[in-house]
Amino acid sequence: MAAFGSFALLLALALAAYNLLAGSLALRLIATGQPTVGSPERLAETARRAGIAGFAAVTAAAFALVWSVFANDFSITYIAEHSNRALPAIYKFSALWSGQEGSLLLWAWLLGAFGFVLRLRHKQDPKLYAYAGAILAGIQVFFLAVLNFAAPPFALLPDFVAGGFIPADGNGLNPLLQYPEMVIHPPLLYLGYVGFSVPFAFALGALMMRYPGEKWIKITRRWTMVTWLFLTAGIFLGMHWAYAVLGWGGYWGWDPVENASLMPWLTGTAFLHSVMMQEKKGMMKNWNVWLIFSTFLLTLLGTMLTRGGLVSSVHAFAASSIGYWFMAFMVIVLAVCIFTYILQRGHLQSEEHLESMVSRESSFLFGTLVLLAACFVILWGTLFPILSEFVGGNKIEVGAPFYNGVAVPIGLFLLLLAGVGPLLPWRGVSLGRVRRNFVLPLIVLEITAAVCLGVGVRPWKDGLFDQSSFFALVAFALSAGVLTALVSEFLRGARVVAKQSGRNLAWAKLQLIRRNPRRYGGYIVHIGVVMVAVGLAGAAFNRSVEGEMALHDKIYLGSYTLECAGFTADSNANYNSEYALLDVSKGGRKLFQMAPEKRVYLASEQPQTMVAIHSVPGWDLYVVYEGADPSTGQPIIKAFLNPLVSWIWAGALLMTLGTLVALAPGQKPAARKRFADTPATEEVFQP
Amino acid sequence: MTPPQGLLCGVLLLIALMVYTFWPVKVFASQREKPRLEYLLERREQLDESLRDLDFDFRAGKFAEAEFQVQRAQLENETAQMLAEIEQLRQALRLAGNDER
């Protein structure tokens, strides 16, 4: 299979290179109108087909790697290093992205899959699709070149090449990855990263060909939203994985690789909002082009940070020299973007201008500025260790206090805008009119702040100002205000529909979403964001206790009592494990038992914590078995009481639901359908 | 799968993909420039949507009557200019069609 896989990868590279060169040549010939021997459109068609064939070749390579993992072919270095015989079947799939070579192959395969769909739909606008297809082929050439020459997934073990020796078993999968969410978290994140290649290719293509109008935004709208959804789901799954596996009681540590996924999410979110202004009013064209260019570059940076070995991180599973390949590619991409922009910037003049500061447009503008500011701060913090080492020779790490000090206020401002934006109409409105819509949210905000102060959420502790409690108080009050604003916006719309149709309010709400799923799906996403903000604010009140526990020893945390009911051990072909059995009671009544676990994987001999979590809407009881104290032999238990964590996961689900609603096609008015049906393409018949 | 078998499978894949890529097709999409009429029709669709949003926001109480009337007049004016140009281009197309006949 190694020979077949390597050959398929080489073939895929050749096809991608042909797609790029023939596609570019055909577009050049069509643009200049030079007389040619054959039809340049026929050449463009072979380029398009090469892109589709390239996807088949990469699929064959990916299939060969998965097949080899399942066949336990330890003559292949990658498989010997990332799998073993006892590895459960579901994690054998994870081996595809657990190492550098495999994850790059996944990148290339996903890019091929996106390109495949795009090339099948080319009749929507053949010329624009041809430009986008050639740009995607350029990106694919890079990834396949890395796979063929710098990080080959089918490289054979040196011992096997020298003497035919094949190890009896592999090193096994990294224990951190042997967790159910890890089967879907990396592919989702990669779908998000790779997906941004598509709007990037369309934006760059549209700029290169001076595409008239904003139809490219309409074409890529769903791509961008689906991509954003994948990235969002991937980030939240990663947070949940960190929470459930790493055992430190938190879900976000401002790790460089976490930051790497957050940065394109921030610029992608900015793009999703800002591009609406271009679509509706032909505004912000320069801004949008650079937002999507930056987003794509940040996805490359994210891949480089994860796989290039530039930063130390719990997530950077493979360190190597491919960082230089990525750096070179990023420089090339940036150069192409700058060159195209300089050449075609005249095409990006706004058709309209900002009419009022009190408008939906201005709220989008502020929102995108704030998102960009957040992205810049995170980028600075992430790259600072590398820059400080480069300049001064000392690596200065930037920790959570830096990020929290800047990102939390920015996040709170964004939360405010999530509520303000929907209340403002497009084009602008007088302040007096808009004030009316803000009265109720402001009252709710003030009442919530008062209630929070009343129940003990106060911005001071022992007479001193406490920043985290202050931020939490602001977050709770703002969340209540924003939620009221969003719900009242829903109700206002539903009342109009109810009045028009004479039906009840519940039917009207559903009808409202059906009529404009994009707008109201977006509001559902905003409600999800509010829930996430409430959950994050809860972290200000986390409590923990740690202690050695002999049989029947007790520890107390909040209203819970944890009593040690015993210890036990287990083993299977993949790992040995030790459990602590803890009876949890409240007010003297036994409620449930928790079993935090520590595993030692046999193939890699690496330990792994399996946290026990009991989750209710108000808080999580989170218990870690840290192993035995070497001096006393007593097991050490660390327990956390983390308020409102489940709100984060519920908010993430709501964000997913909202995006799915926004993706749904809206009801089309009859008058509009006539224009939508206008054919965009024609076919050329040649004998 | 032995290396020779792997290479044989690879060669078969190569042949299949080359045939698919370079098979002479008789019908393929035209790479024509997008005409202005098509652009205007897209823009008009957008203006229709803006008008509908404006009406809805007014009924939802986001605008005072006077503000709404001003904004609606602006959008209607823009739409009227666009419709005039669309009609002009269609007429030109019809004339060109008659000439060819």
Q: What is the ipTM of this complex?
A: 0.81
* Cβ-based contacts of A437 with chain B (< 8 Å): 61-62
CA distance B6 to A596: 47
Backbone φ and ψ for A550, nearest 5 degrees, come out as -85, 175
For A52, which residue in chain B has the nearest alpha carbon? B21
Taking an 8 Å cut-off on Cβ atoms, the answer to whether B17 and A1 are in contact is no
Instruction: Tell me which chain B residue has its CA closest to the CA of residue A427.
Output: B71
pLDDT digits (tens, 9 = 90+) for A613-639: 999 999 999 999 988 888 887 889 999
Q: How far is CA A330 from CA A134, A463, A499, A545, in A?
A: 17, 51, 55, 47
Interface check A425 vs B, CB under 8 A: yes
The answer to whether A435 faces chain B, any CB pair under 8 Å, is: no
Q: Residues A320-379: pLDDT tens digits? A: 678 888 889 999 999 999 999 999 888 888 777 777 788 888 888 999 999 999 999 999
Cα distances (angstroms) measured from residue A344 to each of A142, A217, A284, A286: 25, 18, 15, 11
Q: Is there a contact between B46 and A279 if contact means CB atoms under 8 Å apart?
A: yes
Domains in chain B: boundaries: 3-100
To the nearest whole angstrom, how far is the Cα of A48 from the nearest Cα of chain B?
Answer: 8
A491: closest chain B residue by CA:
B60
Contact A11 B21 (CB under 8 A): no
Q: How many CA atoms lie within 13 A of A52 on its CB side?
A: 20
Q: What are phi and psi of A564, to 5 degrees?
A: -75, 115
Which residue in chain A has the smallest CA separation from B65?
A433
The single residue listed with the structure tokens 């949210």 is A441
Q: How confident is the model at residue A584 (pLDDT cuts 50, 70, 90)?
A: very high
* Backbone torsions φ then ψ of A619, nearest 5 degrees: -165, 170
Domain ranges of chain A: 1-178, 410-540+648-666, 542-646
Angle in degrees, CA A302, A53, A19, rounded to 5 = 70
For A423, the 3-state DSSP assignment is helix
| Res. A670: pLDDT tops 80 | no
pLDDT in tens, A118-160: 988 888 888 889 999 999 999 999 999 999 998 899 988 887 7
Rounded mean pLDDT of A434-443? Answer: 88
Residue by residue, DSSP assigns A290-330 as HHHHHHHHHHHHHHHHHHS-SS--SS-----THHHHHHHHH
Query: In this structure, what are the phi and psi dihedrals at residue A686, rounded to the nearest 5 degrees?
Result: -130, 135
Cα dist from B38 to A125, A172, A257, A586, A680, whole Å: 11, 58, 45, 70, 8
DSSP string, B29-55: E--PPPPHHHHHHHHHHHHHHHHHHHH
Of B22, B27, B53, nearest to A685 by CB-CB distance is: B27
Q: Do A681 and B30 touch (CB under 8 A)?
A: yes
Distance CA A278, CA A286 (A): 10
Closest by CA position to A30, among listed A18, A17, A39, A20: A39
Instruction: Describe the crossing of helices A89-98 and A185-195 by its angle, rounded to 10 degrees.
Output: 40
